[in-house]
Chains A and B, each alone.
Chain A
Amino acid sequence: DQQVKQNSPSLSVQEGRISILNCDYTNSMFDYFLWYKKYPAEGPTFLISISSIKDKNEDGRFTVFLNKSAKHLSLHIVPSQPGDSAVYFCAARLLSGNTPLVFGKGTRLSVIA
């Protein structure tokens, strides 16, 4: 049973527009969420994170929004650039205790010039 779901396997966006990647989770005990970006032939790279005490975290062009009641988070990229084309993974974990990250299956973002 998938605890972290990324229901869109792929997304295509025009350069300069906003990219919105979505992630849903089922375990209400998750308290910390991360986004990773992965280019082909490379390992995932940490992008941005958010804890459950916040509903928004921003880092440059990247903003993550968390809606705890809906068990939903999203990653906004504004403006989108061709170099953002990659697979984006959403991950979640419990804030306390020694628990591993639980990853979604990823969304492939293509930014078209």
Chain B
Amino acid sequence: AQKITQTQPGMFVQEKEAVTLDCTYDTSDPSYGLFWYKQPSSGEMIFLIYQGSYDQQNATEGRYSLNFQKARKSANLVISASQLGDSAMYFCAMREGVNGANSKLTFGKGITLSVRP
């Protein structure tokens, strides 16, 4: 079974509107972390936001927020007030274990977001 699932096809959003990018995960580990990364066309991986499994509140970083629903095992990224520069591929990733032997990130397949002017 996939550990990180991103099933949305390419997403489109109008500039200045909000958009939600879906991510569901699968783990039996009670301690884990969820990450979102942005990959623009230039190719680099840019860290956006982090949510720990024990965090009581949803993470926020500027225009990014994470809608964390633990019971549903979902960690959707919300981008508010979209900008043209938000057009990119977005990856959801998970790290399992607090002091795991391997801090490996397991990635989803990514979602392409296009912001329309």
A binds B: no
